[in-house]
Chains A and B, each alone.
Chain A
């Protein structure tokens, strides 16, 4: 059992537990399963196997098979099933093993879940969370980053945390939200490090709010997921050259926190968006277009984006690494925005 809810007892001074992102998500789900008996999970191999990449470790022992419903391989029907159950008062969390599989469920996600609230004129909603994992990682399989495909569809909330604290707070907010949320768990970050996580069961991180993870006045770097860590490395190197980079971790990729980004650009006058997903038609394209118009008067240089080139993600590790926005590439992109 990874959720360490027992870690904090004592006389006044408490030490919050240090968890990985994976553990933090399980801890958040554990609290919500305790808090609300309408919450349940639907997925493949989420019981005795402990879930893909151990994403549900310990939950079967704690909650039993009634709350962890295992299905055959049928992503589209899993999601549709959850939508129907949500209509009838449950609050399902669907585990779609990997983000590679999200397109299998594109119709129920885009055409039912995203559209539901508006089409029904707000008379009903779909409180569903789709958990999935993606991005390149140590395991080098299932690397797809399809967030932009789903960000294109109105009505879906798309979340990707980059720290354990955010991971726990955001999964809790997602479960409590009455909107359908696609919750993307970055594989590279999954077990990469531990950090203190609030253990108060009422602490959540609100959906739709970005976080300024590093202050700076020379350039605004907007990013999410693994690229937050890469960007922090690049910013540390740039600091030695006297360049102060402000880093905004979007956390919610759609609908994204335009005010926070515009506020930062008002200060810095320069914008770079960095993500691991394809640059073409990506989240960065949307942010650059919107901020390019809204903050036209603040911008001192054309806003830019850095993402993967427009080729399918290759298997061979050296080729795949060449696709990634490494710290060196972020550095070069920041320099080009500064010089423009």
Chain B
């Protein structure tokens, strides 16, 4: 990866971090992606503009933003203010950003989204378009029937899709080794007949490289692949969950492996970046996010009169 591209990657990681921290400050119910930015950003870094994005819900808003969703719209939606594009009907990031080919999670159930993404890939293959679907899921979702069914179906139909597992080692409180019988999620994927790799999910350039290879393969009609990214959930399931079920030591170790720090180290050691310069990038990202929230807060809230009973069907009944 060229120097300028790594700098840009760092800037987007910093934006992702700032978004996650700001959302966590808005609500204790936030499913935080702090510490998982490299997986989420890296998964979509090498995607083409018209590839379809189905990010894992943790740290997904940066993907919306990469695809053109204004930060202010993100916070307007989260704060349930007028006139967010999703009009108060769904909570970000589940509201998606269809304008940027980010599919919504209309149901927040885990699993169905995998085959929805495979369906998008089927459409691309059917029409002979060089487009790819990219879908994320967590280690918990790897235990669902949907995961196994969709990987099998995608491999047998040779669909242009990339599955990435944002393995943060927690399904709420449940550790993957307790409920997933396979040796790894990548190993499962491999047995469904697709190339699968395991990467350090906190090293963004490593994630980008693995995803770039998988996306290229899918675009070149080589069929699906799977990238398992090992990362770590640094908050509870949601911010207000004190996560008493895990040890402080493990958390401290993973904080040492912060994806921004690792990317910054890479920039300093390989590309001669200065800490001041990196600090400036992070500060600018934080400023942009804070300003977006402030602007969104100025907007009026939705009121009961805004409940629109139309638009459920194609025609009015």
Contacts and interface: CB of A to CB of B under 8 A. Distances in A.
B90 A70 contact: no
Contacts of A118: none
A71 B179 contact: yes
B238 to A, nearest CB: 9
B32 to A, nearest CB: 15
B301 A45 contact: no
A47 B301 CA distance: 40
Contact of A72 (B109, B180, B308): B180
B174 A319 contact: no
A323 B304 CA distance: 9
Interface residues of B, number: 37
Contact of A101 (B109, B179, B305): B109
Interface stretch (A195-203, A241-249, A309-317): A309-317
A141 interface: yes
Contacts of B305: 322
Interface in A102-148: 104, 139-142
B274 interface: no
B179 A72 contact: yes
B178 A70 contact: yes
B144 interface: yes
Interface in A299-320: 309-312, 314-319
B194 to A, nearest CB: 21
B309 A49 contact: no
Contact of A310 (B91, B303, B312): B312
B88 A321 contact: no
SS class, residues of chain B in contact with chain A: loop
A73 B111 contact: yes
B128 interface: no
Given A70-B178, A70-B179, A312-B312, A319 B172 contact: no
Contacts of B107: 100
Contact of A45 (B90, B172, B308): B172
A74 interface: yes
For A72, A139, A322, the residue with the greatest tally of chain B CB atoms inside 10 Å of its CB is A72
Contacts of A20: none
B302 A316 contact: yes
B141 interface: yes
Contacts of A142: 108
A317 B80 contact: yes
B235 to A, nearest CB: 14
A48 interface: yes
B144 A74 contact: yes
B272 interface: no
Interface string B21-39: 0000000010000000000
Given A318-B80, A319-B89, A310 B309 contact: yes
Nearest to A321: B304
Given A49-B245, A72-B179, A73-B110, A44 B90 contact: no
Given A73-B140, A73-B171, A316 B29 contact: no
A87 interface: no
Contacts of A311: 307-309, 312
B158 to A, nearest CB: 27
Nearest to B140: A73
A31 B171 CA distance: 30
Contacts of A44: 171-172, 174
Interface string A253-270: 000000000000000000
A142 B31 CA distance: 14
A322 B141 CA distance: 34
A291 B132 CA distance: 56
A317 to B, nearest CB: 6
B245 A48 contact: yes
B82 to A, nearest CB: 10
Contacts of B156: none
Nearest to A139: B29
A318 B303 contact: yes
A159 B143 CA distance: 30
Contacts of B143: 71-74
Interface string A62-80: 0000000011111011000
A312 B109 CA distance: 15
Interface string B198-227: 000000000000000000000000000000
A135 to B, nearest CB: 16
A45 B174 contact: yes
A317 B301 CA distance: 10
Contacts of B245: 48-49
9 contacts: A48-B245, A52-B172, A76-B145, A100-B108, A139-B29, A142-B108, A316-B88, A319-B88, A321-B304
| Nearest 8 interchain pairs by C-beta | A72-B143, A316-B88, A49-B173, A316-B80, A322-B304, A322-B307, A72-B179, A48-B245
Given A72-B140, A74-B145, A141-B91, 17 more contacts: A45-B172, A49-B174, A71-B143, A100-B108, A100-B109, A139-B29, A141-B29, A141-B108, A142-B108, A310-B312, A311-B308, A314-B88, A315-B86, A315-B90, A315-B91, A316-B88, A321-B304
